[in-house]
Copies of this chain bind each other. A is one copy, B any other.
Amino acid sequence: MLGRTYPDQACSIARALEVVGERWTLLVLRDTYRGIRRFDDLLASLGITRGVLAARLSWLVDEGLLERRAYQARPERFEYVPTAKGLELWPVLMHLLLWGDRYYPAPGGPPQVAQHKGCGGRISPQLTCDRCGRQLGPTDVTVQPRRRRSHPRPAAQLTR
C-alpha cells in the first residue's frame, strides 16, 4: 500500500511501523486495551469515519493483533479483542503516554494518569509500579481517559 511502507529498510522498527504506523492504528489498539471494543463505541471514542475505522480494524485483524469475536447473534455483532501479539505493543503505548504526559500535558487539567490497579501506584519509566515495585502489564493498569471539550468519563480499565 502506498504511503505506509518503508522500502529499503530491513530494520524491525521500520517493519513494525509498516504494521502499526498508519494514522489512528495505535489509537484503535489503545482503545481495545481499555475495553472499548465494539465498532460503534470505537467510532464514538475516536471520532473518525466508519470507513477509516473499518479499514484499521480489518488490517489489525488480518495482521493478528486483534481477534474478531461475535458477541451477539441476531443481528450479528462483533467486538475486537487484542491478541497476545497485539498486547505486546502495550509498552510502546505506555512509553508514548509517559513521554506525552511529560512533554505535552493536556491543556485545561492534569494529564491522564496511568495507575497500578488496586495498588494505586504510578507507572515508572521502567513500567514498574512506583509504589509496590511490580513489573506492570496491560491488565495491571487503569487509565483515566479524558476527551477535550467534554466532561470527564469514568476510569476505564485495561482489560483482556
Contact = CB atoms under 8 A, between A and B. Distances in A.
Interface of A: 3-4, 6-17, 19, 21, 23-24, 26-27, 30, 46-47, 64, 85, 88-89, 91-93, 95-106, 111-112, 125-127, 135, 145-149
A151 to B, nearest CB: 12
Nearest to A24: B6
18 contacts: A6-B24, A7-B47, A9-B148, A10-B106, A10-B112, A10-B145, A10-B148, A11-B30, A11-B145, A12-B96, A13-B93, A16-B104, A17-B26, A21-B21, A91-B91, A91-B95, A92-B92, A95-B95
A32 to B, nearest CB: 13
A146 B9 CA distance: 8
Among A7, A97, A99, A105, residue most surrounded by chain B Cβ atoms (within 10 Å): A99
Among A4, A19, A95, residue most surrounded by chain B Cβ atoms (within 10 Å): A95
Nearest to A65: B103
Given A23-B21, A85-B103, A12 B92 contact: no
Contacts of A30: 11, 13
Nearest to A145: B11
Enumerate the 9 nearest inter-chain pairs by beta-carbon distance, A residue then B residue, closest first: A12-B100, A16-B100, A16-B96, A15-B104, A91-B95, A15-B100, A12-B101, A92-B95, A8-B47
